[in-house]
Amino acid sequence: MILFFLAISFLIHRLMEFGFRNKRDKFVEFYLSTVVARLLLCIAFVAVAFYFGVNNAPIFIANFFALYLFYTIFEIYGLYRTLRRDS
C-alpha cells in the first residue's frame, strides 16, 4: 500500500511540474486532473485488492483511508506553502 502511494505521489508530482510550466496558465486544470486521476487510481487499487481477496477488509479500508487522508493533508499543506511563497 505504501508503494502504491509512493508511485502515485511521483506521478502526481510529475504532472504538477508539467502544469507549472508556461507561467502556470493551466495550473488549475492540471491540479484538478491530478485529483481526479488520484481518486480513480485509488478506487482501482481498492477494487483490485478486493478482487484478489484481502484477509481483513475493515482493517484494510481503515489503513487505506488513513494513508489517503495523510497524503491529502500533506499535499494541501505543500501546495499552500508553494502558492503562498510565490504570491
Q: The whole model's pTM is what?
A: 0.76
Backbone region of residue 54 per phi and psi (left: phi > 0; alpha: psi in -120 to 50; beta: other values): beta
Mean pLDDT (whole number) for 64-74:
89
Backbone region of residue 56 per phi and psi (left: phi > 0; alpha: psi in -120 to 50; beta: other values): beta
The burial of 38, by beta-carbon neighbours within 10 Å (0-12 exposed, 13-18 middle, 19 or more buried), is given as buried
**Using one digit for the tens of pLDDT, what is the confidence trace for 32-68?**
888 888 889 999 999 999 999 888 889 999 999 999 8
Length of the chain: 87
**Using one digit for the tens of pLDDT, what is the confidence trace for 8-19?**
888 888 877 777
The Cα–Cα gap between 29 and 23 comes to 13
